Structure 1
Amino acid sequence: MSPRLLTAVQAGEFLGVDQTTVRELWRDGKLKCVHVGRGRKVSTVELWRYINEHEQFDRDR
């Protein structure tokens, strides 16, 4: 199955941030996007990559 493509609003809901943050991540090259028509979308695979790359563990446990 192909990865699902999400809008900035949907990606923000997925990550728990505002769509503005998603757009800033796109602008800064920290989150890859796909141009679809006049808009941009991000795959769920890319969102999971971003989450895994930025995951922090509590070292005190």
Structure 2
Amino acid sequence: MSYDTGWFKSSKSSASSNACVEVRLTDFAVAVRDSKAPDDGHIRVSHVAWRSFLASLR
């Protein structure tokens, strides 16, 4: 049985690959983890920091 954990893969990742970044949005922060090692923890940043990071990639 699978259930929604709130984590989703980057839009730049292919559906068949597990080598990607996964993101989880909350009311207070954005969590980011490595899809190859989801149990190894994650980093959490503010929404402002996440938007700034994404803007720097464009």
TM-score by length of 1: 0.29
Which structure has more relative contact order (CA 8 Å, sep 6+)? It is 1
User: Larger radius of gyration, structure 1 or 2?
Assistant: 1
TM-score by length of 2: 0.30
Q: Which has the higher strand share?
A: 2
